[in-house]
A and B are shown apart, each in its own frame.
Chain A
Amino acid sequence: MWSFSNISTNIDEWLRSFLNPTWTMVAEMVIVGICVISLFAVLGLVLVLMERKVSAWIQIRLGPNRVGPKGILQSFADTLKLLVKEGMTPDGSDKFLFNFAPLLAIIVAMLLMAPIAFAKDFHMWDLNIGVLYVSAVSSISVISILMAGWASNNKYSLMGAMRSGAQIVSYELSAGLSILTIVVLCGSLNLNDIIQSQVDGWWIFKGHLPVLISFVIFIIAVTAETNRAPFDLAEAESELTAGFHTEYSGMKFALFFLAEYVNVFIVCAIGATLFLGGWMPFHIGNWTDFNHVMDYVPSSLWFFGKTFFLIFLIMWFRWTFPRLRIDQLLNLEWKYLLPISMVNILLVTLMAILGWHF
């Protein structure tokens, strides 16, 4: 069967046939690096186009339909425009931090790619603390936003950055707690073990109420963590013009833009891995024939399908809801989401100790 794991094994064997093991490793690392960067570019292009189409259809418009057939080349044209634009560094800004912030944003997004399993036996780094790594690294992204807001020497940017700081720090709590639900049930921090635990049914379909609650909380928390509407207070177009990236232009702006979309992809990939079984096909109990048909669908397709479903969910939110106010945002977290997730994790722990889960 066609799958990514076969391709990677073939490449490995082919490289080993004429290189010694050290150089094989170096060559493989280069290939992986190139793959990550191209995945980045493709994701940026696809997600921007997807967002524009989703928003257009929700807003009873047609959306981009001029560049290329049905407008699919629109994001290429946009990227080209952003590439040739002048990247200005405003007077009075902290030049080093100002130029470093978009890079940091993109580096964090790249680091987060490492432990994700894109298909069966296909991941860059089989990390035994994958969940912890993701939670830890994703919190660096707030530093790039704070850096950008501070270095811009612009009051709007500063306010956006400060809002974002408060927001991301708070919402990491409930995102972390909802992830912990699954960790408690599986007893492992390894993303592959978590996927393996869903071989006879995804966590969200196993019928555990706490898992459903934590899934909802996870979606809300990651929407806030990636600064997407209705939690886009860091950008808050109608209040802060563009928030922390007000002063950015050209490619530096594009990097922030790209980082936002890649972050959305990553959190959705994590969500798909934890709750929707990653690359695991959809199986129903002991319907053997049905399960067999499902197995024919490539595992990478399952993974990307689930991830894009979650991405669509987040986009749907963005184009439906108004924005929260900063104090309401923090109220929602500290008065609603955090207590609920704490009770939830207690329940799950109880379930795990008493062995009530399956």
Chain B
Amino acid sequence: MVEEIGTTTDGDLIINVGPQHPATHGVLHLVITLNGETIKKVEPHLGYIHRSIEKMCESLSYRQFIYVTSRMDYLSSHINNHGCALCVEKGLQIEVPARAKVIRILMDELTRIASHELWWGAMAMDLGAFTPFFHAFRERETINDIMEETCGARLTMNYMVPGGVMLDIHPNFRQRVHDFIRLFKSKVHEYEEMVTGNIIFQNRMKGVGLLSAEDAISFGCTGPTARGSGVSCDVRKYYPYDGYEQLAFDEVLETAGDSFARYMVRIRELHQSIRIIEQLIDNIPEGDFQAKTKAVLKLPKGEFYQRVETARGEFGVYIVSEGGTTPYRIKFRSPGFSNLSALDHMARGSKLGDLVAMMGTLDLVIPDIDR
């Protein structure tokens, strides 16, 4: 049991980072045992933003529960909604129209770019450079505008529904996505000039927060966190959904396993997402945007699991149905929770300043961890 105030018997300093702290980006509470500037132990305390979303979902119908998942990982709300919709479709054996599939993937990848942009800015801010945050928001804002025009919201969209998408894409959608791609390509070199190539930044990131491939697997890390350690785990490649198997894109892998590798994975994923969008944006098939579904959805008795690749890693939806209109039990497998569990292992023996960099590269979204 940790003594919250004061020091341990060995004279180590125990400090509480969070729940209100500039670097935790939310209400994460880390109890850190320090020896001088060196970290001996990091103990995350969770639950400050636990809203019992899984329990709430048990009283909501299969159409209604999807909107709640936007509030978990609010930076990849489209992808969360996508996973839930896919899981329900799996249970109901609904065939989603081709147009809806393409729209879904476009939205997913736009969300991934938006999420990585925000992460990039916040990451630089954690390291003390404030300017990239604002520059990242310039591009992210363009994506938000696209989302707002088509889905009607900027963050919590609730756009994916069982059977397709809620509304057809806006007539301007194609043009605006093209504009965004052009803007992105004209600005992306600034990321390297301001952050990636910077000697101070590289010194802060390289060789810091090492996570071996074995450890990444045993901690259950997924997404860019695991791929930075060389673990190939992209759900879009291994369990493709909604037509990812037909797209040409690379799974980004770095082998160093340090903070810089995780950083580079995300930066290179931005380009892969752009590549996916470029393949699809001019080839949106005509047709329905939503399959015909019954007014009341009833999943057959059984268990259904669907995984999707969010910006942070593997997001899983597990539905147990008793055959009624509401799920008997829902479990969400959130990527942030598993990734956070590796923090203690990574941080031991490094400096306090490095902890901030590591938390930055884990890309933690606290509501995703607590649910």
Residues of A that sit less than 8 Å from B by CB: 55, 58-61, 155-156, 159, 163, 229-230, 232-233, 236-241, 319-328
Contact = CB atoms under 8 A, between A and B. Distances in A.
Given A321-B198, A328-B203, A229 B134 contact: no
Contacts of A241: 21-22
Interface residues of B, number: 31
B13 A155 contact: yes
Nearest to B202: A322
A327 to B, nearest CB: 6
Contact of B353 (A61, A155, A156, A323): A323
Contact of B23 (A155, A230, A238, A328): A238
Interface string B120-135: 0000111111110111
Contacts of B13: 155
Interface of B: 13, 15, 21-23, 37, 124-131, 133-135, 138, 194-195, 198, 200-201, 203-204, 351-356
Contact of B356 (A229, A238, A319): A238
A80 to B, nearest CB: 26
B351 to A, nearest CB: 6
Contacts of B126: 238
Nearest to B194: A320
Given A60-B138, A238-B127, A320-B129, A327 B351 contact: yes
A336 B353 CA distance: 21
Contacts of A328: 200, 203-204
A322 B134 contact: no
Contacts of A238: 22-23, 125-128, 356
Contacts of B128: 229-230, 232, 236-238, 321-323
Contacts of B135: 59-60
Contacts of A323: 127-129, 200, 204, 353
Contacts of A320: 129, 131, 194
A319 B124 CA distance: 11
Contacts, number: 82
A233 B37 CA distance: 12
Given A236-B128, A236-B353, A239-B356, A322 B195 contact: yes
A253 to B, nearest CB: 17
Given A159-B37, A239-B23, A319-B131, 14 more contacts: A55-B131, A60-B134, A230-B128, A233-B353, A238-B128, A239-B355, A241-B22, A322-B124, A322-B128, A322-B198, A323-B128, A325-B203, A325-B353, A325-B354
A240 B21 CA distance: 9
A356 to B, nearest CB: 33
Contacts of A232: 128
Contact of B22 (A55, A61, A237, A322): A237
B12 to A, nearest CB: 11
Closest 3 CB pairs of A and B: A323-B128, A322-B127, A59-B134
A27 to B, nearest CB: 47
Contacts of B352: 159, 239-240
A240 B352 CA distance: 9
Nearest to B357: A325
B352 to A, nearest CB: 6
A321 B129 CA distance: 5
B209 to A, nearest CB: 12
10 contacts: A60-B134, A238-B128, A238-B356, A241-B21, A319-B130, A320-B194, A323-B129, A324-B204, A325-B353, A326-B353
Contacts of B351: 325-327
Nearest to A55: B130
B155 to A, nearest CB: 21
Q: In the complex, which of the residues A232, A324, A325 has the most CB atoms of chain B within 10 Å of its own CB atom?
A: A325
